[in-house]
Amino acid sequence: MTKRKTGGHPDLKMVNPNAASIDIGSKIHMAAANPDADAMPVRAFGTFTQDLHDLAAWFRSCGVTSVAMESTGVYWIPAFEILAAHGFEVILVNARYAKNVPGRKTDVSDAGWLRQLHSYGLLRGSFRPEAEIATMRAYMRQRERLTEYVAAHSQHMQKALMEMNLQLHHVVSDITGSTGMRIIRAIVGGERDPEVLAASRDVRCKSSMDTIKAAQVGNDREEHIFALTQSLELYDFYKAQIEACDRRLEAAVGALTIRADDDLAPLPKARIKGKQHNAPSFDVRAALYGVLGMDLTQIHGLGPSLALKLVAECGTDLRAWKSAKHFTSWL
């Protein structure tokens, strides 16, 4: 009885002969096209805008239709956007995927190896949202950075108060709340009388007038007042920047493609009452409901801010998750 021969893996088929690739750098981009299309299939291009347009023109002359790029950081963004504007199909590849493919020859450049993998369909592009979602995501991430700056300067104000031995953080739950900010602004404005400062107490504050008054007797050194003043000014500045960012973010949400039906039911009652801390200043629930046709905040654990972040990062098409279990597993 003869043994049947096993093995004999079929050769890989080229599925994308018009593929090209770019190894992205901070000063130089190494680009590779099909060797049959150009006598010098691997070329170096600069990173200036005109260089990127020249790169697109060279790809066009080589008959390129799809481009894969490998990058770290944000150096890939201008090249990605300009090539996409020229009509190329562009994918951003995780460098780890390319390095994990076995069989690389040592005499093949990074760009050439990347093009070869892309021509055989062995590369998977990273997620890149559509243009209107990318715009919204940029505003959302900018807002997160501004919020971090606000928090840092809030801590600087508290540090200055502690150096003056003004125990404000012990008598109010949040020094950036109504009572805390009124007292801080009065101190910066030159007020030193503990009784006058305590009179700034909000009616909702749990600490008594006497407690707040006792906490406002401190060591009013000029350098500490100076530090508190600058921290307050920076705090107010970044709060104003967040407000400006919210206006852009609201406009970006309004510009999203409407996916909801015309006969949309009224917005459901909010599951959680009150406003979240550091939430955007516009009605996020109503804005997203008009786009999605559903209220994401009805999901336990998702407030307006997190729902907005989810849409900004993933887009408005929620059909990717077949059920609530799929969604929570992805989270």
What is the assigned CATH class of domain 19-119?
Answer: alpha beta
**Could you say which residues of the chain have pLDDT below 70?**
1-11, 97-108, 257-262
CB atoms within 10 A of CB 192: 13
Token look-up 């015309």 returns 262
Phi-psi category of residue 128: left, alpha or beta, with phi > 0 → left and psi -120 to 50 → alpha:
beta
The confidence score (pLDDT) of residue 66 equals 96
Residue-level pLDDT at 176 = 92
Report how far residue 129's alpha carbon sits from residue 74's, in angstroms, rounded to the nearest whole number.
Answer: 16
Confidence (pTM): 0.81
Residue 45: closest CA among 20, 65, 25 = 25
DSSP string, 101-117: SS---TTS-HHHHHHHH
Q: What angle is formed at CA 172 by the lines to CA 167 and CA 175, rounded to 5 degrees?
A: 80
**Chain CA centroid to CA 98, Å:** 25
Which residues in the chain belong to E strands, given as ranges?
19-23, 28-32, 42-46, 66-70, 89-93
| Cα 86 from Cα 73, distance rounded (Å) | 23
**CA-to-CA dists, residue 260 to 136, 155, 170, 241, 287, angstroms:** 19, 43, 48, 31, 11
Nearest by Cα to 315 from 134, 85, 77, 94: 134
Closest Cα partner for 98 from 118, 83, 80, 79? Answer: 118
- The residue ranges of every structural domain in the chain are 19-119, 133-246
Residue 321 CB contacts under 8 Å (≥ 6 apart), including other chains:
327, 330
Provide the pLDDT for residue 323.
79
CA of 18: how far to CAs of 15, 48, 52, 68, 88, in Å?
9, 25, 19, 11, 11
Angle between helical axes of 76-85 and 49-61 (0-180°, round to 10):
50
pLDDT of the residue at 100? 63
Tens digits of residue pLDDT in 145-163:
999 999 999 999 999 999 9
